[in-house]
A and B are shown apart, each in its own frame.
Chain A
Amino acid sequence: MQISEMIASAIRMSLPVLLAALGAIYSERSGVTNIGLEGMMITGAFWGATTAYFAGPYLGLLVAVLSGALMALVHAVASVTFRVDQIVSGVALNTLAYGATRFAATTIFKMATTTPGVPRLPGIDLPVLSAVPLLQPMVTTLSPVIILAFLLVPFTRYVLERTVFGLRLRAAGENPLAADTLGVDVLALRYAGVAISGAFAGLAGGYLAIEHTGMFVEGMTAGSGYIGLAAMIFGNWQPVGAMLASLLFGFAEGLSLNVVAEDVPYQFIKMIPYVLTIAVLAGAVRRATPPASVGVPYERSGE
Chain B
Amino acid sequence: MIRFESVTKRYDADGPVAVDNLSLVAPSGQITVFVGPSGCGKTTSLRMINRMIEPSSGTIWIDDVDTAKGSSSELRRGIGYVIQHAGLFPHRTILDNVATVPFLLGRDKREARKGAMELLERVGLDPAFATRYPAQLSGGQQQRVGVARALAADPPVMLMDEPFSAVDPIVREQLQNEFLRLQQDLGKTIVFVTHDIDEAIKLGDQVAVLRVGGRLAQMASPAELLARPADPFVAAFVGRDRGYRALGFTTAGTLDLDKGAAARLGTDLTAVRGSTADGWLLVVDDDDLPQGWINTLELTDEQLKGQITPDLLNLGGTLAHEGGSLREVLDAALSSPSGWGVVVDADGRLAGTITAEKVLTKIRQERSAAAAAGAGP
To the question of whether A and B form a pair in one complex, the answer is: no
